[in-house]
Structure 1
Amino acid sequence: MSNEHSAFSERLRAALQRAGLGESPVELVRLLARFGGEPVSQQAVSGWLKGRAMPRQANLKALAKMLSMEPQQLQYGDDGKRVRESRGEWRLDPRDQLAIEAFLQLPPAQRKLLRHVIDEFVKSSTTSRKT
Protein backbone atom coordinates (compact mmCIF):
# COMPACT_ATOMS: atom_id res chain seq x y z
CA MET A 1 0.00 0.00 0.00
CA SER A 2 1.60 3.29 -1.09
CA ASN A 3 1.47 6.47 0.93
CA GLU A 4 -0.38 8.15 -1.95
CA HIS A 5 -3.06 5.45 -1.95
CA SER A 6 -3.37 5.55 1.82
CA ALA A 7 -3.66 9.35 1.90
CA PHE A 8 -6.28 9.27 -0.87
CA SER A 9 -8.24 6.65 1.05
CA GLU A 10 -8.28 8.86 4.15
CA ARG A 11 -9.43 11.91 2.14
CA LEU A 12 -12.12 9.88 0.38
CA ARG A 13 -13.49 8.41 3.61
CA ALA A 14 -13.45 11.82 5.32
CA ALA A 15 -15.24 13.43 2.35
CA LEU A 16 -17.86 10.66 2.37
CA GLN A 17 -18.44 11.23 6.07
CA ARG A 18 -18.76 15.02 5.58
CA ALA A 19 -21.25 14.36 2.77
CA GLY A 20 -23.31 12.08 5.03
CA LEU A 21 -22.56 8.98 2.98
CA GLY A 22 -21.45 5.62 4.23
CA GLU A 23 -18.51 3.63 2.93
CA SER A 24 -20.67 1.08 1.13
CA PRO A 25 -19.03 0.03 -2.16
CA VAL A 26 -22.48 -1.00 -3.45
CA GLU A 27 -23.92 2.50 -2.92
CA LEU A 28 -20.79 4.21 -4.20
CA VAL A 29 -20.80 2.18 -7.43
CA ARG A 30 -24.43 3.21 -8.00
CA LEU A 31 -23.84 6.87 -7.18
CA LEU A 32 -20.62 7.00 -9.19
CA ALA A 33 -22.50 5.98 -12.33
CA ARG A 34 -25.11 8.67 -11.72
CA PHE A 35 -22.38 11.33 -11.44
CA GLY A 36 -20.80 10.41 -14.77
CA GLY A 37 -18.23 7.86 -13.65
CA GLU A 38 -17.10 4.86 -15.65
CA PRO A 39 -18.37 1.39 -14.71
CA VAL A 40 -16.35 -0.04 -11.84
CA SER A 41 -16.64 -3.06 -9.58
CA GLN A 42 -17.43 -3.05 -5.88
CA GLN A 43 -13.98 -4.58 -5.34
CA ALA A 44 -12.35 -1.59 -7.07
CA VAL A 45 -14.25 0.85 -4.83
CA SER A 46 -13.28 -1.24 -1.81
CA GLY A 47 -9.66 -0.91 -2.92
CA TRP A 48 -10.00 2.88 -3.01
CA LEU A 49 -11.52 2.92 0.47
CA LYS A 50 -8.82 0.63 1.90
CA GLY A 51 -5.90 2.45 0.27
CA ARG A 52 -4.95 -0.34 -2.11
CA ALA A 53 -5.70 1.53 -5.35
CA MET A 54 -6.60 4.87 -6.89
CA PRO A 55 -9.53 5.56 -9.22
CA ARG A 56 -8.97 6.50 -12.84
CA GLN A 57 -9.37 10.17 -13.73
CA ALA A 58 -12.97 9.86 -14.96
CA ASN A 59 -14.00 8.23 -11.69
CA LEU A 60 -11.95 10.66 -9.63
CA LYS A 61 -13.84 13.51 -11.31
CA ALA A 62 -17.19 11.78 -10.71
CA LEU A 63 -16.33 11.17 -7.04
CA ALA A 64 -15.33 14.81 -6.63
CA LYS A 65 -18.56 15.99 -8.25
CA MET A 66 -20.56 13.65 -6.03
CA LEU A 67 -18.75 15.01 -2.95
CA SER A 68 -19.01 18.69 -4.04
CA MET A 69 -15.28 19.22 -4.21
CA GLU A 70 -12.59 19.76 -6.81
CA PRO A 71 -10.89 16.62 -8.18
CA GLN A 72 -7.43 17.90 -7.19
CA GLN A 73 -8.65 18.45 -3.63
CA LEU A 74 -9.77 14.85 -3.44
CA GLN A 75 -6.64 13.52 -5.09
CA TYR A 76 -4.01 15.68 -3.37
CA GLY A 77 -5.70 17.14 -0.32
CA ASP A 78 -7.16 20.45 0.86
CA ASP A 79 -10.51 21.28 2.40
CA GLY A 80 -13.59 20.25 0.44
CA LYS A 81 -15.52 22.85 -1.50
CA ARG A 82 -18.60 24.14 0.25
CA VAL A 83 -21.72 25.29 -1.44
CA ARG A 84 -22.24 28.98 -0.67
CA GLU A 85 -25.63 30.51 -0.13
CA SER A 86 -26.56 34.00 0.88
CA ARG A 87 -27.59 32.57 4.28
CA GLY A 88 -24.23 30.93 4.99
CA GLU A 89 -22.53 27.67 4.15
CA TRP A 90 -23.98 24.18 3.88
CA ARG A 91 -22.96 20.84 2.48
CA LEU A 92 -25.17 19.13 -0.02
CA ASP A 93 -25.81 15.39 0.19
CA PRO A 94 -25.05 13.88 -3.23
CA ARG A 95 -28.49 12.28 -3.35
CA ASP A 96 -30.08 15.67 -2.70
CA GLN A 97 -27.87 17.18 -5.40
CA LEU A 98 -29.22 14.62 -7.88
CA ALA A 99 -32.78 15.36 -6.78
CA ILE A 100 -32.24 19.09 -7.23
CA GLU A 101 -30.70 18.58 -10.67
CA ALA A 102 -33.67 16.39 -11.68
CA PHE A 103 -36.08 19.00 -10.28
CA LEU A 104 -34.43 21.74 -12.35
CA GLN A 105 -34.95 19.69 -15.51
CA LEU A 106 -38.71 19.46 -15.00
CA PRO A 107 -41.15 21.72 -16.84
CA PRO A 108 -42.28 24.81 -14.86
CA ALA A 109 -45.73 23.41 -14.06
CA GLN A 110 -44.27 20.25 -12.49
CA ARG A 111 -41.68 22.26 -10.55
CA LYS A 112 -44.49 24.44 -9.17
CA LEU A 113 -46.40 21.35 -8.09
CA LEU A 114 -43.35 19.88 -6.34
CA ARG A 115 -42.67 23.16 -4.52
CA HIS A 116 -46.27 23.01 -3.25
CA VAL A 117 -45.78 19.40 -2.08
CA ILE A 118 -42.57 20.37 -0.28
CA ASP A 119 -44.32 23.30 1.39
CA GLU A 120 -47.06 20.95 2.61
CA PHE A 121 -44.48 18.52 4.02
CA VAL A 122 -42.78 21.37 5.85
CA LYS A 123 -46.10 22.58 7.28
CA SER A 124 -47.00 19.04 8.33
CA SER A 125 -43.62 18.51 9.91
CA THR A 126 -43.82 21.80 11.82
CA THR A 127 -47.34 20.98 13.03
CA SER A 128 -46.39 17.49 14.19
CA ARG A 129 -43.42 18.85 16.19
CA LYS A 130 -45.72 21.24 18.07
CA THR A 131 -48.09 18.50 19.19
Structure 2
Amino acid sequence: MDEKTLFAERLKEALIAAGYEPRPSVLEREFNLRYWGSPMTFQGVRRWLRGESIPAQNKLQVLAGWLGVEPHYLRYGARAACSPELSQATWMIAVGGEEDEVLRVYRGLPDEQRQLLRQVILTFARANELEPDRAKPPSQA
Protein backbone atom coordinates (compact mmCIF):
# COMPACT_ATOMS: atom_id res chain seq x y z
CA MET A 1 0.00 0.00 0.00
CA ASP A 2 1.15 3.54 -0.64
CA GLU A 3 1.61 6.17 2.07
CA LYS A 4 -1.67 7.96 1.26
CA THR A 5 -3.69 4.78 1.66
CA LEU A 6 -1.90 3.97 4.92
CA PHE A 7 -2.58 7.50 6.18
CA ALA A 8 -6.29 7.09 5.35
CA GLU A 9 -6.41 3.83 7.33
CA ARG A 10 -4.76 5.45 10.37
CA LEU A 11 -7.12 8.45 10.13
CA LYS A 12 -10.17 6.16 10.05
CA GLU A 13 -8.85 4.16 13.00
CA ALA A 14 -8.21 7.36 14.98
CA LEU A 15 -11.70 8.66 14.21
CA ILE A 16 -13.32 5.43 15.38
CA ALA A 17 -11.13 5.28 18.49
CA ALA A 18 -12.17 8.86 19.34
CA GLY A 19 -15.85 7.94 18.95
CA TYR A 20 -16.54 9.44 15.51
CA GLU A 21 -17.83 7.83 12.34
CA PRO A 22 -15.16 7.86 9.61
CA ARG A 23 -17.38 9.77 7.18
CA PRO A 24 -16.48 12.91 5.20
CA SER A 25 -19.40 14.92 6.61
CA VAL A 26 -18.34 14.16 10.19
CA LEU A 27 -14.67 14.85 9.47
CA GLU A 28 -15.44 18.11 7.66
CA ARG A 29 -17.65 19.44 10.45
CA GLU A 30 -15.45 18.44 13.37
CA PHE A 31 -12.17 19.46 11.72
CA ASN A 32 -13.45 22.89 10.71
CA LEU A 33 -14.64 23.56 14.26
CA ARG A 34 -11.05 23.18 15.44
CA TYR A 35 -9.03 24.63 12.54
CA TRP A 36 -8.53 28.40 12.41
CA GLY A 37 -7.43 28.61 8.77
CA SER A 38 -9.61 28.37 5.69
CA PRO A 39 -12.21 25.64 6.20
CA MET A 40 -11.73 22.32 4.49
CA THR A 41 -14.32 21.26 1.94
CA PHE A 42 -16.28 18.02 1.95
CA GLN A 43 -14.33 16.93 -1.14
CA GLY A 44 -11.00 17.75 0.51
CA VAL A 45 -11.61 15.66 3.63
CA ARG A 46 -13.10 12.89 1.50
CA ARG A 47 -9.76 12.71 -0.35
CA TRP A 48 -8.05 12.22 3.03
CA LEU A 49 -10.38 9.34 3.91
CA ARG A 50 -10.05 7.73 0.48
CA GLY A 51 -6.26 7.83 0.56
CA GLU A 52 -6.03 10.28 -2.34
CA SER A 53 -4.17 13.01 -0.42
CA ILE A 54 -2.45 13.74 2.87
CA PRO A 55 -3.12 17.01 4.71
CA ALA A 56 -0.49 19.72 5.13
CA GLN A 57 1.42 19.68 8.42
CA ASN A 58 -0.67 22.41 10.08
CA LYS A 59 -3.86 20.48 9.34
CA LEU A 60 -2.25 17.22 10.41
CA GLN A 61 -1.42 18.76 13.78
CA VAL A 62 -5.03 19.85 14.28
CA LEU A 63 -6.27 16.37 13.35
CA ALA A 64 -3.82 14.70 15.72
CA GLY A 65 -4.64 17.04 18.60
CA TRP A 66 -8.36 16.56 18.15
CA LEU A 67 -8.15 12.77 17.84
CA GLY A 68 -5.63 12.33 20.64
CA VAL A 69 -2.84 10.78 18.58
CA GLU A 70 0.66 11.93 17.81
CA PRO A 71 1.04 13.83 14.51
CA HIS A 72 4.04 11.67 13.61
CA TYR A 73 1.98 8.50 14.08
CA LEU A 74 -0.95 9.83 12.06
CA ARG A 75 1.34 10.80 9.18
CA TYR A 76 3.93 8.03 9.20
CA GLY A 77 2.53 5.23 11.33
CA ALA A 78 5.49 4.98 13.69
CA ARG A 79 4.78 5.96 17.28
CA ALA A 80 7.08 8.62 18.70
CA ALA A 81 9.05 7.86 21.85
CA CYS A 82 7.11 10.15 24.21
CA SER A 83 4.44 8.89 26.57
CA PRO A 84 0.69 9.43 25.92
CA GLU A 85 0.52 11.74 28.93
CA LEU A 86 3.16 14.06 27.47
CA SER A 87 1.54 13.94 24.05
CA GLN A 88 -1.88 14.85 25.44
CA ALA A 89 -0.45 17.72 27.50
CA THR A 90 1.00 19.22 24.32
CA TRP A 91 -2.52 19.83 22.98
CA MET A 92 -4.10 21.16 26.16
CA ILE A 93 -4.43 24.93 26.41
CA ALA A 94 -5.44 26.33 29.76
CA VAL A 95 -8.24 28.88 29.61
CA GLY A 96 -10.24 30.49 32.33
CA GLY A 97 -12.65 33.25 33.16
CA GLU A 98 -13.96 35.05 30.11
CA GLU A 99 -12.23 32.71 27.63
CA ASP A 100 -13.82 29.67 29.23
CA GLU A 101 -17.25 31.32 29.16
CA VAL A 102 -16.89 32.28 25.50
CA LEU A 103 -15.72 28.78 24.52
CA ARG A 104 -18.62 27.12 26.34
CA VAL A 105 -21.13 29.42 24.61
CA TYR A 106 -19.39 28.97 21.24
CA ARG A 107 -19.55 25.17 21.48
CA GLY A 108 -23.27 25.35 22.20
CA LEU A 109 -24.08 27.34 19.06
CA PRO A 110 -25.39 25.72 15.86
CA ASP A 111 -22.73 24.90 13.23
CA GLU A 112 -23.72 27.79 10.94
CA GLN A 113 -23.35 30.33 13.74
CA ARG A 114 -20.00 28.87 14.84
CA GLN A 115 -18.68 29.17 11.29
CA LEU A 116 -19.89 32.78 11.05
CA LEU A 117 -18.34 33.66 14.41
CA ARG A 118 -15.08 32.01 13.34
CA GLN A 119 -14.96 34.20 10.23
CA VAL A 120 -15.60 37.33 12.33
CA ILE A 121 -12.73 36.42 14.67
CA LEU A 122 -10.37 35.74 11.75
CA THR A 123 -11.33 39.07 10.19
CA PHE A 124 -10.45 40.89 13.42
CA ALA A 125 -7.19 38.93 13.67
CA ARG A 126 -6.17 39.89 10.13
CA ALA A 127 -7.16 43.54 10.68
CA ASN A 128 -4.98 43.65 13.79
CA GLU A 129 -2.16 41.61 12.23
CA LEU A 130 -2.41 39.00 14.95
CA GLU A 131 -0.63 35.71 14.35
CA PRO A 132 -0.36 36.34 10.60
CA ASP A 133 0.77 32.78 9.86
CA ARG A 134 -2.44 31.34 11.36
CA ALA A 135 -4.88 34.19 10.56
CA LYS A 136 -4.14 34.17 6.83
CA PRO A 137 -5.87 31.36 4.99
CA PRO A 138 -3.29 28.66 4.18
CA SER A 139 -3.56 26.66 0.97
CA GLN A 140 -5.66 23.55 1.33
CA ALA A 141 -4.12 20.10 1.08
User: Smaller-chain TM-score range?
Assistant: 0.5 to 0.7
Q: Which runs of 5+ in 2 are unaligned?
A: 87-91, 103-141
> Which position in structure 1 is the counterpart of 2:12?
13
CA RMSD for the aligned pairs? 3.3
Report the Cα distance in structure 2 between the residues aligned to 1:66 and 1:83, rounded to whole angstroms: 15
For the structure 1 residues 79 and 8, does the alpha-carbon distance in structure 2 shift closer, same or farther, using more than 3 Å as the test? Answer: same
Q: Deviations over 1:12-40 (max 9, x none)?
A: 01111111110121221121122225311
- Paired residue total: 94
> Which position in structure 1 is the counterpart of 2:116?
none
Deviation (angstroms), 1:102: 9.1
Q: Which runs of 5+ in 1 are unaligned?
A: 85-96, 108-131
Contact in 2 for aligned 1:25/1:42 (Cα 8 Å): yes
Deviation (angstroms), 1:69: 1.6
Runs of 4+ with >6 A deviation? 101-104
Aligned letter for 1:10?
A: E
TM-score by length of 1: 0.58
TM-score by length of 2: 0.54
> Which position in structure 1 is the counterpart of 2:71?
71
For the structure 1 residues 7 and 102, does the alpha-carbon distance in structure 2 shift closer, same or farther, using more than 3 Å as the test? Answer: farther
Q: Specify which structure has the higher proportion of strand.
A: 1
> Which position in structure 2 is the counterpart of 1:40?
40
Which structure has the larger Rg over C-alpha atoms? 1
Identity of paired residues, percent?
32
Relative contact order, higher structure (CA 8 A, sep 6+): 2
